[in-house]
Chain A
Amino acid sequence: MAGVASGEAACNSARQTGGVTDALAAELSAAMAPDRVRSGPLELTLYRRDASLLEGQPGVVCFPSTTDEVQAAVTIARRHGRAVVPRGSGTGLAGGAVPVGVDGAEPVVIVTTKMDRVLEIDADARVAWVQPGVLNLDLSRQVAHLGLHFAPDPSSQQSCSVGGNVANNSGGPHCLAYGVTSAHVLALEVVLPDGSLALLGDLDPEPPGYDLRGAFVGSEGTMGIAVRIAVRLSPDPPAVRTVLVDFASIETAASTVTGIIAAGLVPAALEMMDARITSAVEDYVHAGFPRDAAAVLLVELDGLPAGVEAATQIVADVAAANGARGVRVAADEAERALLWKGRKSAFGAIARIAPDYYLHDTVVPRTRLVEVLSEVYEIAARHRLLVVNVFHAGDGNLHPLLVFDRREPGVMARVLAAGTDMIAACVAVGGVLSGEHGIGLEKRDHMGLIFSDDDLDAQRRLRLAFDPEQACNPHKVLPSGSGCGDLQSVPAGAWI
């Protein structure tokens, strides 16, 4: 194939991999194996983004397979004045794994996908030690024969890594009853930004001293790289019922959500999808979602069989009282799985509507849901954009998605403006910025909306305690510069 590449491409590659990067790549290659260090121009392109819209530029991408190799990669990158960017499966929606360097030097991306082993399972203690690249669903499958599972179940669970879940403190439909990732992580072994190794937390539920494990969970790769994770495994519930409720209006769906919680139930999951997303999903899964519904709720109840039956009845009653058009209880495991497959493919099915999406992840008080939702639709209309809503209704975690085609001139500016308006609307009713997807690059400049300068400063100092040189996933989470209140655009070197 030599001779196929043009002079121009060759010259490009010289620019991107030349100079310091060559020496850097050579040292990294010596520390792991040459075929696990990449700097080809096209390959680097593939690591410019995650599942968000933002793009950065890596200098080198490497795939360590052991803790030692992660330590070596961090040390070598630092010696060359490069930042490091941890990356799991790259399904993050806030740009957390988008590579942005410091001082114009492109960062080293450290990918954990080759560290994908479940190291140890203790079925009696219900604990497993795993490597960070283990996929969330693979972990649950590997312990299924023990009647156990890993409770956090992001909709991306088939693809996302446990390391990514830890870094983003990810949630999922079933976190309403069981809590997000931080409730399921006991201890972590992490490579700190200086290359040293530290154990945070331990298997004792009440370890003495500061809860550094708790500080690390949700740190989005800014405090180091998790290389070994002790996760709590949860027993499978004895009985499960999944109910699909169909509504003629968003308002009746939202008041049903409030009604279910007010009735004293804590469903395992309580999810809402609006009309557009319901029909897009139905096109894909053919699960019998009503295409003409204005909104549907997916409610899951679990526990002992008698309690589950009673709770199912309460849900049906509350729904009927609120004017639901229909209630369908999944007849068997296959039907239940299909309904969930529909819900969990929602973001992916967006391209059936338009090729790009820009997603927000705000949490608002459940009582203000109806109000905020109608405002979200209004904001989109005002910016001449289409918005669809699919979200964890039970805990008020909204996921308004603006869908568009970025090839349309001027559309990006309208999308960003609408996004900012939506966040402001959520914050105005007492909401917060991110329920589960993280702040990353995308939301960090909105941090000033909910945190005071003092709050931000405290967070910055915590981060500096772990990463004094701000070389681990720089520019993420915390707004840069001192004036945190002013909305800056994304940092130089990254673009939408």
Chain B
Amino acid sequence: MRLAVADEDLSACVSCGLCLPHCPTYRVTGEESASPRGRIAAMRATHATDAPAGPEFAEFMDLCVQCRGCEVACPSSVPFGRLMEGARATLARETAYQPRRRRMGYAVLGHHRLLLLASSAAAVLQRLHLVPARLGLPRLPLRRPRLRPGDTAGPGGRPIGTAGPGGRPIGTAGPGGRPIGTAGPGGRPIGTAGVGGRPPEPDAWLFTGCVMDAWMRPTHAAALRVMHATGARVALPGPGGDCCGALHVHAGLRRQAEALARRVMASMPGDAHVVVDSAGCGAALKDYGALLGTAEARRFSDRVLDVHEWLAARAGRLPAARRRLTGPVAVQDPCHLRHVQQAHQHVRTVLAPYADLVELGDDGLCCGAGGAYAGIHPAMAQEIRARKVAAIAATGAPVVASANPGCIVHLAGAGLDVRHPVDIIAWSLDGG
């Protein structure tokens, strides 16, 4: 079965095996089929014949976390992420690789109101002990704070939309203002002409995403709080800016991902930076140029920055800590920040003035969260996590900082106190 991969990418692997110890599934199993080298060999074998891929191939591909630890470890720079996405796209298109049930799950992510409703409903069921623990869901919020850039503006931070005549702060428009993405009556996305004229271009957009907005909105509020503290005007995306499509790309559902990408781009027009506080979403947004292959998408991707990357460039403008955590904080690098965006050092730059940081001794090995992975392969995800938990325990730090919602939820599931770096900074700025 011909895979949607470039021959050059496939032949770039010399089978040296230097990637093996950097692969979380190989670390757990010691098996070639669960290693980057073996997965590439399986792709080669499959790509070389006309026979349809068998169940073995789909299994080997599916067990990959797509952490891309192998990619940075590979001296030949084999573009593993691209290969795996291509292989899965072929599987999704030509086989029953993504069953209907899973496809529907991915589809919901792009319907934000439905997702919020479903999440709240699940939260109620959880309180009633009707959600089985084996699903590994975190404790879901019953309610979510409203994100109001204006309300949380720190000193010098001017909320967007209050400057121009007739402009409205996003999401708070009129009575019954709603959180962004649910544009109810009167709620207007920024950038579309409001009554009486256009609001001015913001200094930056804060991308809010799907699951993160449903489960961890207080972290967005903290990100806004910290961004405002630099004096910047921050806007939230208009309608459609609510799912980046990363999980769809990983699942091989490329068409859905492309549609979501176009929506996200339209939700944050202009030239301002697109700031992201979820490492997984940030990596996806930065890859729109490659996903859509258009000049417009490349320009959009160039505007994208991880929130720590954006803050690091403005670190001098952040106020001093008003309180500090007592113990050290272990920095856990999300794979899509470290291996894909290679922006993990910025977390240290930004966080260091607010906490005593300690490093993990595991070379940035994946924690096993992997977007939807922990839900699809819970046993493997937990075995991978056990190694991360041991690496964290070895530091003795009581608190872990992680810049990705998936990692936070997954590690918290092991009983750790895991916080987003911007939550730590916002807490520190607010004082006690």
Q: Do A and B bind each other?
A: yes
Q: Determine the chain B residues whose CB is within 8 A of the CB of A46 once the complex forms.
A: 32-33, 38, 41-42
- Does chain A have a CB within 8 A of B20? yes
Interface string of B388-419 (1 = CB under 8 A from A): 00000000000000000000000000000000
- With A47-B32, A349-B75, A349-B76 as contacts: A9 and B18 at CB distance below 8 Å: no
Interface size class of A (residues with CB under 8 A): 35 or more
On whether the beta carbons of A156 and B17 are closer than 8 Å, the reply is: yes
CA distance A352 to B31 in the complex (A): 27
- With A4-B55, A43-B56, A46-B32 as contacts: A348 and B42 at CB distance below 8 Å: no
Q: Determine the chain A residues whose CB is within 8 A of the CB of B163 once the complex forms.
A: none
Q: Determine the chain A residues whose CB is within 8 A of the CB of B30 once the complex forms.
A: 63, 111, 113-114, 116, 133
Measured CB to CB, the closest approach of chain B to A35, in angstroms, equals 10
On whether the beta carbons of A45 and B31 are closer than 8 Å, the reply is: no
- With A348-B74, A350-B76, A355-B11 as contacts: A51 and B16 at CB distance below 8 Å: yes
- Does chain B have a CB within 8 A of A391? no
On whether the beta carbons of B18 and A113 are closer than 8 Å, the reply is: no
- Does chain A have a CB within 8 A of B131? no
On whether the beta carbons of A42 and B56 are closer than 8 Å, the reply is: yes
- Considering only residues 349-363 of chain A, those with a C-beta below 8 Å from chain B are 349-352, 355-357
On whether the beta carbons of A4 and B52 are closer than 8 Å, the reply is: yes
**Closest chain B residue to A351, Cβ basis:** B76
Q: Determine the chain B residues whose CB is within 8 A of the CB of A133 once the complex forms.
A: 30
- Does chain B have a CB within 8 A of A40? yes
- Does chain B have a CB within 8 A of A382? no
Give 14 pairs: A residue, B residue, CB < 8 Å, sorted on A: A2-B55, A4-B53, A4-B58, A40-B56, A42-B33, A46-B33, A63-B30, A63-B31, A137-B21, A284-B75, A345-B75, A347-B14, A351-B14, A355-B12
On whether the beta carbons of B17 and A89 are closer than 8 Å, the reply is: yes
Q: Determine the chain A residues whose CB is within 8 A of the CB of B54 once the complex forms.
A: 1, 4-6, 9, 41-42
CA distance A9 to B49 in the complex (A): 10
Not counting A1-B97, A8-B51, a sample of 6 additional A-B residue pairs whose C-beta atoms are within 8 angstroms of each other reads A6-B54, A42-B60, A91-B16, A137-B21, A158-B18, A159-B21
Measured CB to CB, the closest approach of chain A to B384, in angstroms, equals 15
Q: Interface size (B, Cβ < 8 Å)?
A: 39
- Does chain A have a CB within 8 A of B15? yes
- Does chain A have a CB within 8 A of B119? no
Q: Determine the chain B residues whose CB is within 8 A of the CB of A40 once the complex forms.
A: 56
Please indicate which of the listed interface residues B13, B16, B20, B51 has the most CB atoms of chain A within 10 Å of its own CB. B16
Q: Determine the chain B residues whose CB is within 8 A of the CB of A345 once the complex forms.
A: 18, 75
CA distance A42 to B44 in the complex (A): 11
- Considering only residues 111-152 of chain B, those with a C-beta below 8 Å from chain A are none
Q: Determine the chain A residues whose CB is within 8 A of the CB of B56 once the complex forms.
A: 40-43
Q: Determine the chain B residues whose CB is within 8 A of the CB of A405 once the complex forms.
A: 11
User: Which residues of B approach A to under 8 Å, CB–CB?
Assistant: 11-21, 29-33, 38, 41-42, 45-46, 51-58, 60, 74-78, 95-97, 361
- Does chain B have a CB within 8 A of A135? yes
Q: Determine the chain A residues whose CB is within 8 A of the CB of B12 once the complex forms.
A: 351, 355
Q: Determine the chain B residues whose CB is within 8 A of the CB of A407 once the complex forms.
A: 11
Q: Determine the chain B residues whose CB is within 8 A of the CB of A152 once the complex forms.
A: none
- Does chain B have a CB within 8 A of A49? yes
The answer, among A43, A63, A91, A283, for a CB contact under 8 Å with B17, is: A91
- Does chain B have a CB within 8 A of A438? no
The answer, among A41, A116, A137, A284, for a CB contact under 8 Å with B77, is: A284
CA distance A5 to B51 in the complex (A): 8
Measured CB to CB, the closest approach of chain A to B379, in angstroms, equals 12
Q: Determine the chain A residues whose CB is within 8 A of the CB of B15 once the complex forms.
A: 49-51
Measured CB to CB, the closest approach of chain B to A55, in angstroms, equals 10
The answer, among A1, A8, A43, for a CB contact under 8 Å with B96, is: A1
